Structure 1
């Protein structure tokens, strides 16, 4: 059977996308006081005009204490007009738009939020130099419903899809991780118990919105730390989510914003750039132990393919391949391996119009060199540092509070 054309229209749940290329969720650092800015709109319309099938707004917290930065979007009445302007602007360029929703859990910023961070069990966060407190059953019930309400509001704001964050040791992912989750109740211990919270979130969203919006889950295959969640557990969790009927597509990711942030990205580690944007004493810590804590991993194209294909073999759900998607040939490889969509991040930060140019010439190379110097910029407006920054951007809201991706 012939592989699908990555540049042809494709169905994703109730959606028809103009092509199978999705701008992956990358925290933009361009919202202000939990509201949309014109800079944020411009950020996403650039990818829409540049040819992607769908762009992803990241990340929209479902609860105030779940933000990894105090300026991140919350699903409040005040935020809705700006979100509608954003979705209308993206639609005007022919692309769909997804909202990444989730709760930062132990990755969240207690100082910025003015509220304690939450975790399955008490956990120290080295970046914020603070403890996350154990989430109560009441917290889990409230946060589950907050995800459902966020999906309802996403529909009202004009979004075409929601991407639910089950990765990077954000709250749902931290419940999956045996390294972080030491609970002894029905949400800890066995894999089935550790997966309960993620499954309840996804079920609540599906029950709330039906098929009025596409539902994607972004889930870890591997935390990238000894004793963490790993592929042998990710496979059954993916199968359970499929059996629950709560998903239209599954996107596999890796790494921990809490414990090993470079594991997802591969490539160079920009230690100097990280130190430059950090407040003291974290700046000093990065200089002293950064090489040990921010580990380097070699970059190759399609670097999550080998593990993702094991999930692909275990489920029938449409899947989105993330990680090192840079050229038409890599996209075609993903299609030949049975993936229905690809998600791109750094290559599009470097060249927002890359898809338009690939449509004109399939041999178009990517200019991204995987230096990862874009990573520290999410504190002041995510961008490729090799591209001259627009003077209209104003989102330099203050000092960084945590990692977001």
Structure 2
């Protein structure tokens, strides 16, 4: 097999990217009123100008209660003009643009949104100090349709792709998790039942947009939580998604925004910085018990590769390798291992032009220190504190 150059063009469904690098979704907190702002446009324009093949706009919620908090893009007609300006700005720099669409489920802040969060099963949210409702059949049908409507809106706005969020214990992921899903109906119990929400959303998006735009999904390989979604079950869900023909590519992720966020990020745990973003009593809670929730995992390049290899062996579907991609050597390794694309986040927050510089000099080192102090900035405007 000929190993492709990571900076060569690549097909992604109906789309051709100028190279195989993707700016992965990182919540920007630049959408006051749940609408696109000039700051958000400049954020993604800079990444496009920096050389990525495609940039991903984070957390475009498909329903009002599906936002992590109120100032997150809500996919509705009022958002269309801003989304169009955003797509045009990215296209002017030669990159493609994707919208990460999804429903935050139990990760949503019901107090901020003014409506209770939804999940597979009832629970209590320490974030909003409110009950999380168990999604009814009507809720599931509504949210499934909303994914299709959001994809259509993205296509109308000129976006090249959508990425459906099935990870991090968001709504679909909460259904997949045997720890969070305690239902006794047709959406609980067996893996086949727990996968119905994710598969239904992907099918609805494909039926709505056909081949107008590319369709990706972000899927947890594992939650990183005892009793949660594990890799063997994830492999089977990935096989089903491939068989359904609803996706053009799968981006492999891990961790739980609800229960173990650092399982995805690795590196230093910024407990002090997270605590500083909250008011009392949540601030005190993070100070006292934050290290139990914001656990620290050592950083290494390509830290999700070992698990991702199992998906590469099991699937023919194009795969996006995420996690610890910050050097040309790691990108080349991903290509050699058979991954079609690589996704980056923290390294590009530090240096939006890293891709351009790597193309000029493959030995260019990343300046990202993996301190993860960018993570608490999602509550203001996401940025690297060292830049």
TM-score normalised by length of structure 1: 0.95
- Deviation larger for 244-253 or 74-83: 74-83
Q: What are the within-5 Å matches in structure 2 for residues 159-308 of structure 1?
A: 159-308=159-308
Q: What is the rounded CA distance, in whole Å, between the counterparts of 1:278 and 1:69 in structure 2?
A: 14
Of 287-296 and 215-224, more deviation after overlay is shown by 287-296
Superimposed CA distance per residue, residues 114-135 of structure 1 (whole angstroms, 9 cap, x where no aligned partner): 1110011101222332221110
Between the aligned partners of 1:376 and 1:128, the Cα distance in structure 2 is 17
Q: Secondary structure of the equivalent of 2:298?
A: coil
Residue 159 of structure 1: how far off its partner (Å): 0.4
Quote the Cα distance in structure 2 between the aligned partners of 1:383 and 1:49: 17
Q: Secondary structure at the match of 2:34?
A: coil
Deviation track 1:143-200 (CA, whole Å, cap 9, x = no partner) reads: 0000000000000001000000000000000000000000011100000000011000
CA contact (8 A) 1:125 1:258 kept: no
**2: distance between equivalents of 1:279 and 1:79?**
30
Question: 2:140 aligns to what?
Answer: 140
| Residue matched to 1:392 | none
**1:116 equivalenced with 2:116 (yes/no):** yes
SS of 1:16's partner is: strand
* 1:2-401 → structure 2 map (5 Å cutoff): 2-387=2-387
Displacement after TM superposition at 1:287 (Å)? 0.6
- Give the Cα–Cα distance (whole angstroms) in 1 for the partners of residues 68 and 140 of structure 2: 18
CA distance in 2, matches of 1:130, 1:8: 49
d(CA) in 2 for partners of 1:210, 1:103? 21
Q: Structure 1 runs of 4+ off > 2 angstroms? A: 125-130
User: d(CA) in 2 for partners of 1:300 and 1:351?
Assistant: 19
Q: Whole-Å Cα distance in 2 between the matches of residues 362 and 8 of structure 1?
A: 14
Structure 1: 5+ residue stretches without partners: 388-405
Q: How far apart are 1:244 and its partner, in Å? A: 0.2
Q: Distance in 2 between matches of 1:89 and 1:306?
A: 37
SS of corresponding position for 1:33: helix
What CA deviation, in whole Å up to 9, does each residue of 1:14-52 have, x standing for no partner? 000000000000000111101111000000000000000
SS of residue in 1 equivalent to 2:265: coil
Inter-partner Cα distance in structure 2 for 1:328 and 1:278:
38
**Contact conserved, 2:77 with 2:153, CA < 8 A, in 1?**
no
Tell me how far apart the structure 2 counterparts of residues 5 and 262 of structure 1 sit (CA, whole Å). 31
Distance 1:25 1:189 in 2: 31
Does the CA contact (< 8 Å) of 2:321 and 2:334 recur in 1? Answer: yes
Q: How many residues align?
A: 387
Work out whether residues 21 and 52 of structure 1, in 8 Å CA contact, stay in contact via their aligned partners in 2.
Answer: yes
What secondary structure is seen at the aligned counterpart in 2 of 1:11?
strand
User: What is the alpha-carbon distance in structure 1 between the residues aligned to residue 264 and residue 344 of structure 2?
Assistant: 13
How far did 1:276 drift?
A: 0.8
Structure with larger RCO (C-alpha < 8 A, sep 6+): 1
Gaps of 5+ in 2: none
Return the offset for 1:272. 1.1
Q: What is the CA deviation profile of residues 318-359 of structure 1, one whole-angstrom value per residue up to 9, with x for unaligned ones?
A: 000000000110000000111000000000000000000001
| Cα distance in 1 for residues equivalent to 2:133 and 2:279 | 24
Deviation at 1:78, TM superposition (A): 1.4
What TM-score results when the alignment is normalised by the length of structure 2? Answer: 0.99
Alignment RMSD = 0.6
Counterpart contact for 2:109–2:128, Cα < 8 Å = yes
The whole-number CA distance in structure 2 between the counterparts of 1:139 and 1:292 is 33
Q: Distance in 2 between matches of 1:224 and 1:122?
A: 21
Tell me the secondary structure at the aligned position of residue 262 of structure 2.
Answer: helix
Which secondary structure state, in structure 2, belongs to the residue aligned with residue 285 of structure 1?
A: helix
1:149, 1:196 → 2: CA distance? 19
| Partners of 1:264 and 1:214 in 2: CA distance | 25
Deviations 1:249-276 (A, max 9, x none): 0011000001111111000001111011
